[in-house]
């Protein structure tokens, strides 16, 4: 089993340096794939209410035989439940579906600026943390301006901002803001669009130099930049491969070369996306 280092958050908790994403698995698929991932050594599992697989994730955890304290579970507040009371009720629904006494990391999934209720949601998350039913709280797909508003309004910074991050969207400016504020970056869609990136000659050459796969090289790129990637894979071999990225080190030049590609966002932009 691969030993995975941890990353400390500003609230004193820690995250494994890589996790498993579960979108778009259904409950049965999530139960099966999360069970395999836990067996392989993953200890950070990422889900969301909107994914529709919290129950499956919870069943896999319950049947794993692994101590609950060893597993970090992330889930997220959906746009349909923005608002203070709505957020509290939504969290209880997620906790019930997961079958857990507490959630390790609870995130606001999208800011939905048009609704302008993400500050109220954040106030609800602060309450959940104070009540110890959410060990850490954070956000997902927030801009620097959104996070600054949370800080001005409540005095509390997110422990994590989970954002789209891959070599075509390295998020240099936002990661710099995170580092200055002590917010940990998590990266979703860390392998970009997949084949186009993993067959890129530059990435292939770097991977060959280190005797690793292109996917391992890209995930190592992300961890060396301080981000916690959460790749999704339903293939057991690929799950193990994605986890085994800490036995080599990319050079500073290789980090730059992996990032040197045409900027490209795959997912929607946080300023205008409305997820309900």
Q: Which residues are annotated as catalytic? A: 51
| Cα distances (angstroms) measured from residue 218 to each of 36, 37, 93, 212, 221 | 23, 20, 36, 10, 5
| CA–CA dist 219, 191 (Å, integer) | 7
Place of tokens 């209410």: 49
Long-range contact list for 145-151, CB < 8 A, 24+ apart? 146/111, 146/113, 146/118, 146/270, 147/177, 147/181, 147/183, 149/119, 150/118, 150/119, 150/122, 151/181
| CA–CA dist 33, 45 (Å, integer) | 11
């Amino acid at each position: 089993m691969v030993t995975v280092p941890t990353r400390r958050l500003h609230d004193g908790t820690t995250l494994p340096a890589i996790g498993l994403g579960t979108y778009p698995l259904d409950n049965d698929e999530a139960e099966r794939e999360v069970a395999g991932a836990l067996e392989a050594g993953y200890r950070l599992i990422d889900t969301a209410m909107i994914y529709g697989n919290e129950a499956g994730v919870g069943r896999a955890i319950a049947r794993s035989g692994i101590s609950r304290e060893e597993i970090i579970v992330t889930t997220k507040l959906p746009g349909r439940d923005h608002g203070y009371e709505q957020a509290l009720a939504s969290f209880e629904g997620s906790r019930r579906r997961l079958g857990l006494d507490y959630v390790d990391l609870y995130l606001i999934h999208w800011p939905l600026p048009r609704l302008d209720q993400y500050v109220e949601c954040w106030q609800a998350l602060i309450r959940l943390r104070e009540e110890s039913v959410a060990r850490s709280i954070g956000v997902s797909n927030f801009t620097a301006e959104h996070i600054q508003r949370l800080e001005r309004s409540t005095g509390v910074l997110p422990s994590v901002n989970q954002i789209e991050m891959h070599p075509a969207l390295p998020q240099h400016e936002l990661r710099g803001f995170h580092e200055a504020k002590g917010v940990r970056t998590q990266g979703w869609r860390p392998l970009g669009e997949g084949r186009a990136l993993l067959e890129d000659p530059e990435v292939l050459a770097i991977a060959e130099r280190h005797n690793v796969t292109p996917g391992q090289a890209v995930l190592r790129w992300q961890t060396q930049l301080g981000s916690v990637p959460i790749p999704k894979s339903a293939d057991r071999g690929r799950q193990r491969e994605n986890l085994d990225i800490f036995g080599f080190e990319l050079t500073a030049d290789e980090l730059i070369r992996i990032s040197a590609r045409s900027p490209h966002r795959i997912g929607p932009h946080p300023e205008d996306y409305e997820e309900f």
